[in-house]
């Protein structure tokens, strides 16, 4: 996939805050958002926020999970490479989110093929956050 957009700093923090309700308690210290697309039209959006500490990152993921509803299905808990990863569907996309070290990672994929998504998620888990 080719990078089509990258936002960071205050612009990314503001965009992430606008996509969450106050009850989610998502106020990142730092943030990056990257949007990718390939020639087949598949899209991926990756949001990485710094929570300051590992415990705070875990807390933010738990808050998001508790607040999940509306346009999203009930999150399913997966384990990939020793990490607790939540999977949900909504808005015509497939979403994976988790904490790793002091980061909160959210990945939204458009491709309905579970095998293709698994390959991308495995790679993301290995490469994002050390």
One digit per residue, the tens of pLDDT, for the chain of length 130 reads 899 988 887 777 777 766 655 444 455 567 888 999 999 889 999 999 888 899 999 998 998 898 887 889 999 999 988 899 999 999 999 999 999 999 999 999 999 999 999 999 999 888 887 6
* CATH architecture of the domain with range 2-127: 3-Layer(aba) Sandwich (3.40)
How far is the C-alpha of 125 from the C-alpha of 115, rounded, in Å?
Answer: 15
Q: Which residues pair with 109 in a beta bridge?
A: 44, 94
What is the maximal distance between C-alpha atoms in the chain? 39
Q: How far apart are CA 43 and CA 110, in angstroms?
A: 5
Residue 130's alpha-carbon distances to 10, 78, 103, 126, in angstroms, are 23, 20, 10, 7
pTM value is 0.87
Find tokens 């996509």 and name the residue. 19
Question: pLDDT at position 22, please?
Answer: 46
């Amino acid at each position: 996939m080719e990078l089509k957009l990258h936002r960071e700093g205050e612009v990314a923090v503001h965009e992430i805050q606008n996509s969450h309700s106050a009850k989610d308690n998502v106020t990142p210290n730092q943030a990056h958002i990257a949007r990718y697309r390939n020639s087949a039209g598949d899209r991926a959006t990756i949001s990485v926020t710094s929570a300051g500490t590992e415990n705070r990152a875990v807390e933010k993921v738990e808050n998001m999970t508790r607040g999940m509803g509306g346009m999203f299905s009930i999150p399913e808990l997966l384990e990939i490479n020793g990490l607790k990863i939540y999977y949900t569907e909504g808005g015509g996309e497939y979403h994976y989110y988790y904490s790793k070290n002091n980061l909160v990672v959210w990945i939204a994929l458009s491709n309905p093929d579970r095998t293709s998504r698994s390959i991308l998620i495995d790679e993301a888990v290995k490469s994002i956050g050390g």
